Structure 1
Amino acid sequence: MSYNPIKVLHIFGGMNRGGAETLIMNVYRNIDREKFHFDFAVSTMKKCDYDDEILSLMGSIYHLSEKGGRDVRIYYNNLNQLLRSNKYDVIHSHIYYFSGVTLLIGRINKVPIRIAHSHNTSDGKLNSWKRILYRWIMRKSILYNATHLVGCSKEACEALYGPNCWNDVRTQVVANGIDLSVFEKVYNDKNSLREEIDLPKDVPLIIHVGRFSKQKNHVFLIEVFSEFLKECSNAHLVLVGDGPLKDEIVHLAVEKGIESNIHFLGVRSDIPEILSAGDIFLFPSLYEGIPLVLVEAQAACLPCLVPEAINKKEVDMGLGLIYSLSLKDDISLWVKQLKRLLLIRRPSKDEAHKKIREHGYSTDSAVQKLSCIYANTMRAK
């Protein structure tokens, strides 16, 4: 008896280096690819960071929008045609409220397993009556058409599926697992990154990894760092990522006269090495689900300063590395906490990785949980 591989279609905006995309790529690298085949449907025509790797792993990438447009009819028709021509066992949608559309199309095409996956606690949009109506319609569609309601945290589940989602047996948390084997190979070498950006070995180095978007709150981050420089003039800030607001943040740094202390590294594939070289991870997002990069920062034994909007109970691995303040607190409090974090004891890598595994945030745990969901469609040939 032999088995056809279970065919899974992942729905994303694009396969760039975001938290959700990185999670699924970690799963893709580690899942049994003789049993599971991944394809990706995206709503951009641009080449994305993970495209080449997806193709090297024998996955296909389908572009659902023509010339990057946002015409829902074109998107609907293209996805409908894709599902008709390729018989998928699973449609796994990662696009928040718009999953109401993708899962409806999946149901129409009789895809057996239809997964909505919430990676955030907000869509980041203003509460206009149109937006409120849109959310209501899409949530109804998700709840009607999904066979599984998955979230990276309890708060992420409640945000998308409603506060009563735990009464629904379809709801479950799949934690954002990271590939700890990558971090185990990285030595806590603080010199290589400093050499790359031409810094002395002993300067305090603050790290931030995130897309340049409103959600990541870079303006506040620059304000905090600007004040921190008044207390610690030799400190430097590394910003990893790209996005629509990058030019605005570069301009703000120049305007404040601190551009020589800020380093814009763009999109990088060596995040473990960068995190391991830092002294503090500063992450003042307006909202998040369970940010994968915070788990990665703890895997690198890096102290993290985050806003209270992030659920500390779910993201804290019990290593004494997560500290939080309110975004409404005076910036001076953020500066004082940064100074304290330069002095705290950091755990060993072995201790950190053991705790992360115990909390279920390893890739192995995510692979196991998602494999169980996908395998409901196993069919003998």
Structure 2
Amino acid sequence: MKRVSVLFALTQPVRGGVEEVVLALARRLDPSEFRLALAAPAPLLEAFAPDLTGVAIETEAVEAESWRRRDEIARLSKFIARLKPDIVNAHLFRSTAVAAPLARWHGARVVETYHGREGWRRGLLGGSFLPDRLLSRLVDRVIAVSEAARAFLIAGKGYDPRKIVVVPNGRDLSVFRPGAGGQAVRKELGIDRATPLVGVIGRLEEQKGHVYMLEAWPSVLAEFPDARLLLVGDGSLRGALERRAQDLGIAASVRFAGFRSDVPRVLDALDVLALPSLYEGMPLTAIEASAMAKPVVATAVDGTPEVIREGRTGRLVPPRDVVALSRALRSVLRDPAAAQRMGSAGRDLVFNRFDLTRQVDATARVYRETAGVLPQRVAA
């Protein structure tokens, strides 16, 4: 069986959930079956570098998020021409808008991975999905990371359902072992073992809803005065969020930890993970927290209810609803026994449905089918 050449195309310079999906595929796809390459902004390649040590993958620093970046477009085009990939796998619309036409021009097939709604898609122009429908004609297969994502592609964007296959995000769950390092993290942060600790893990960007978490926090403190809120991640809103915490008078109870690579240890330190996102495809953080047997309080958006089951593995609240978010957090903190049951049920759920091996195997099959190495199955 010939090796399938796959080029991943990314446009965001910050390491987040989408980027983690690509990194996991790069590390786990069988090099005897796949020849891999990655085109992405230099800051992202630098962030990936330690995790790509020993991985057979060719990289190119390119920031081709718009056709206005002519020099970057030319660099990406030359990279594709030199590689001659069988498949270009673009992630998110901006990447697809650039990479799909270039891939077609150079004779490659296109797989688009759709991770969910994008925050910049607003207004008369940005909110129209006509460009998406036109662009979808250049796409051979679409990987939707959740059933909710698939439904939106069909009903919202008008994609051909026969092109779409659902491959839920997965994680290497073997590294998520409850009891592994949480107390050391608390000691490092100066947080007592008995102190209620709520965490939010994700890029400090509008999508993740941190501002609503901050606004919900005063009422949590009213019932749990010694509680602490840990915000893990970097992003463009850090300064604004720090100022908001000061304005709300909660800065002393909020810790901005920046990016951390030891996510299992951080999760182990938490009592509850909060996910106040405005939209999500298939939230990796929720999968990871559940794997660590932690209850999750999350907004009921897109693919999140496929991971978090209301009252069973956590609590679901409407997005932007500060009162509901605070109420749910307080209810979980108030009943540690129920929180433990939720965490255990969540761990069972994700180990049954969201293991990384399943995602990698399903994605590999899509690549083989699209490249013509395996017969293609038509999606229902």
Common fold: TM-score over 0.5: yes
Between the aligned partners of 2:326 and 2:287, the Cα distance in structure 1 is 23
Q: Offset of 1:64 from its aligned partner?
A: 2.2
Q: Provide structure 1 residue ranges, at least 5 long, that are not aligned to the other structure.
A: none
1:363 to 350, 356, 361: 356
Give the letter aligned to residue 92 of structure 1.
N
Distance 1:26 1:349, change over 3 A: farther
Q: Offset of 1:207 from its aligned partner?
A: 0.8
* Contact kept in structure 2, 1:15 and 1:48, CA below 8 Å: no
Higher mean alpha-carbon deviation, 31-40 vs 154-163, is at 154-163
2:74 to 70, 73, 77: 77
| Residue 336 of structure 1 pairs with residue 327 of structure 2 | yes
Give the 3-state SS of the residue equivalent to 1:37 in structure 2: strand
| Residue 199 of structure 1 pairs with residue 195 of structure 2 | no
Q: Deviations over 1:62-87 (max 9, x none)?
A: 12238x99734333322221111111
Q: Deviations over 1:196-245 (max 9, x none)?
A: 11121100000100111111111111111122111111000111000000
State the match for 1:58 in structure 2: 56
Distance 1:125 1:268, change over 3 A: same
Give the 3-state SS of the residue equivalent to 1:56 in structure 2: coil
Between the aligned partners of 2:49 and 2:203, the Cα distance in structure 1 is 18
Distance 1:285 1:26, change over 3 A: same
State the match for 2:376 in structure 1: none
Q: Offset of 1:250 from its aligned partner?
A: 1.1
Distance 1:318 1:362, change over 3 A: farther
* Contact kept in structure 2, 1:97 and 1:160, CA below 8 Å: no
Between the aligned partners of 1:159 and 1:74, the Cα distance in structure 2 is 34
Q: Deviations over 1:232-283 (max 9, x none)?
A: 1100011100000001111122223322211111111111111121101111
Q: Provide structure 2 residue ranges, at least 5 long, that are not aligned to the other structure.
A: 374-380
Give the letter aligned to residue 111 of structure 2.
I
| Residue 110 of structure 1 pairs with residue 104 of structure 2 | no
State the match for 2:125 in structure 1: 130
With normalisation by structure 2, the TM-score equals 0.88
* Contact kept in structure 2, 1:15 and 1:50, CA below 8 Å: no
Distance 1:28 1:362, change over 3 A: same
Between the aligned partners of 2:4 and 2:67, the Cα distance in structure 1 is 30
* Contact kept in structure 1, 2:314 and 2:343, CA below 8 Å: no
Between the aligned partners of 2:321 and 2:259, the Cα distance in structure 1 is 31
Between the aligned partners of 2:168 and 2:9, the Cα distance in structure 1 is 19
| Residue 139 of structure 1 pairs with residue 137 of structure 2 | no
* Contact kept in structure 2, 1:278 and 1:302, CA below 8 Å: yes
Give the 3-state SS of the residue equivalent to 1:346 in structure 2: helix
| Residue 276 of structure 1 pairs with residue 274 of structure 2 | no
Q: Offset of 1:36 from its aligned partner?
A: 1.6
| Residue 10 of structure 1 pairs with residue 8 of structure 2 | yes
Give the 3-state SS of the residue equivalent to 1:101 in structure 2: helix
State the match for 2:257 in structure 1: 265
2:163 to 160, 170, 193: 170
RMSD: 2.8
Instruction: Output aligned runs, 1:274-353, within 5 Å.
Output: 274-316=266-308, 320-327=312-319, 329=321, 331=323, 333-342=324-333, 343=335, 344-347=338-341, 352-353=346-347
Between the aligned partners of 1:129 and 1:163, the Cα distance in structure 2 is 15
Q: Offset of 1:100 from its aligned partner?
A: 2.9
* Contact kept in structure 1, 2:110 and 2:138, CA below 8 Å: yes
Q: How many matched pairs?
A: 370
Q: Offset of 1:58 from its aligned partner?
A: 2.8
Distance 1:252 1:221, change over 3 A: same
Higher mean alpha-carbon deviation, 338-347 vs 365-374, is at 338-347
Q: Deviations over 1:325-348 (max 9, x none)?
A: 2235452x4333212212224249
| Residue 149 of structure 1 pairs with residue 150 of structure 2 | no
Distance 1:370 1:240, change over 3 A: same
Higher mean alpha-carbon deviation, 335-344 vs 266-275, is at 335-344
State the match for 2:31 in structure 1: 33
Between the aligned partners of 1:367 and 1:131, the Cα distance in structure 2 is 32
Give the 3-state SS of the residue equivalent to 1:50 in structure 2: helix
Distance 1:328 1:92, change over 3 A: closer
Give the 3-state SS of the residue equivalent to 2:57 in structure 1: coil
Q: Offset of 1:19 from its aligned partner?
A: 1.0
Q: Offset of 1:157 from its aligned partner?
A: 2.9
Identity across matched positions, percent: 23
Distance 1:48 1:151, change over 3 A: farther
* Contact kept in structure 1, 2:299 and 2:317, CA below 8 Å: yes
Q: Offset of 1:148 from its aligned partner?
A: 0.5
* Contact kept in structure 2, 1:250 and 1:259, CA below 8 Å: yes
* Contact kept in structure 1, 2:111 and 2:143, CA below 8 Å: yes
* Contact kept in structure 2, 1:16 and 1:50, CA below 8 Å: no
Give the letter aligned to residue 279 of structure 1.
D
State the match for 1:372 in structure 2: 365
* Contact kept in structure 2, 1:180 and 1:353, CA below 8 Å: no
Distance 1:217 1:353, change over 3 A: closer
Instruction: Output aligned runs, 1:209-288, within 5 Å.
Output: 209-288=201-280
Give the letter aligned to residue 340 of structure 1.
S
